[in-house]
Amino acid sequence: MVRFFNLLMTLAILGVVGFIGLIWYSDKTFDAPGPLKKVATIEVRRGATFTSIIPELEAKHIIPRQGPLRIFIRGVSSANKTSALKAGEFALQPGMSMRQVMNHLTEGRSIQHTVTLPEGWTSYQIMERVQFSDILQGDLPPIPAEGSLLPSTYAFLRGTTRQEAVEHMQEAQRKALADIWANRADDLPLKTPQELVILASIVEKETGLAEERPHVASVFINRLRKGMKLESDPTIVYGMFGGKGKPKDRPIYRSDIRRPTPYNTYVIPALPPAPIANPGIEAMKAVAHPKASDDLFFVADGSGGHAFAVTVQQHNANVAKWRKIEAERKKQAKAAAKDIAKKAKELRLSN
């Protein structure tokens, strides 16, 4: 009986020592440098658990093979972080301990990927980029109204839905427009924020030079005040082809200028019924605070910008200069093509 009691006591002591040893070993292993040799990424999907991501963590050598002791899960449980796993894409650094991995997946910042939407893109073009982004997931929502998306560079977590991304762009536009409209100049001939967006979309399409936007905006503002037609070429294109844009091999014919569409500002008396693109913040600010000028006309000047004029006579002179520049460029291009053809022929003959 005494021997049996002594055996039980010995087994109990060994069990306690073993349990304490297991705890010590688990803690030591949980805090020991991990096997990862170079930066690795892991994507944690919504609804994932620590248990469900262990195979990937092991396969990428982020944590050691767990075996029956399941030290990683035990450590997560001991830290009361079983339900704290965050969804997202995470970058894990070489040598991270299991504790550091746990902390990074519950407290660290997810990797963010940028999606850039250029100013002046139509909603159709923007939705094409959203559709083919490998960062976003889910179905593509319907194409939003023109002018309702704010062109910018956005940072998204991998796995963000396309619906969420589009809603974020729309909210950014609403906030930007509300601020710009609230701080606009006095006495603009614009009745609503939507009219500001419409005119800003035309300004955006008319010039690629940021410093020119307020000047271009002033021309259109002056025309609206005088009851003049805006006569903007981009409105011809949008009225004919919509958000998909004009085919590259399709020129604008003289007959297109008078083609009646709801958007053609050579035909309609004022603003189009809706924007022709999604203007950026600076284009909207340019319309809200146009340059002080009396100009009513502008035409390309050959340098990438425009020549502005107050009178028709001044404008016609600027147009004549532009046409001369165009003719000279066509002449030079023709001569260059002829020279290339000549050299190619000489090369063939020499061979």
Residues 291-314: tens digit of each pLDDT: 999 999 999 998 889 999 999 999
Q: How many of the other CB atoms lie within 10 Å of CB of 228?
A: 16
Whether residue 351 is contained in a domain is answered as yes
Give pLDDT tens digits for 168-193.
999 999 999 999 999 999 999 999 99
Residue 27 burial (C-beta neighbours within 10 Å; 0-12, 13-18, 19+): middle
Same domain? 48 vs 82: yes
Q: The dihedral of CA 126, 127, 130, 133: what is its sign?
A: negative
Whether residue 285 is contained in a domain is answered as no
Domain final position from 107, 130, 148 = 107
Whether residue 343 is contained in a domain is answered as yes
Same domain? 83 vs 122: no
Least confident of 1-15, 223-237, 268-282: 1-15
Whether residue 233 is contained in a domain is answered as no
Domain final position from 107, 140, 161 = 107
Same domain? 78 vs 126: no
Domain final position from 56, 83, 107 = 107
Whether residue 92 is contained in a domain is answered as yes
287-323 burial by CB neighbour count: b if 16+ within 10 A, else e? bbbbbeeebbbbbbeeeebbbbbeeeeebeebbeebe
Counted residue by residue, the chain has a size of 351
What CATH code is carried by the domain that includes residue 65? 3.30.1490.480
Q: What's the number of domains the chain is made of? A: 3
Domain containing 310 equals: 296-351
Same domain? 121 vs 103: no
176 in Cβ contact with 281 (< 8 Å): yes
Q: Is the per-residue pLDDT at 19 higher than 50?
A: no
54 in Cβ contact with 66 (< 8 Å): yes
Give pLDDT tens digits for 115-173.
999 999 999 999 999 999 999 999 999 999 999 999 999 999 888 999 999 999 999 99
What CATH code is carried by the domain that includes residue 302? 3.30.160.60
Whether residue 151 is contained in a domain is answered as yes
More confident: 261 or 327: 261
Same domain? 43 vs 102: yes
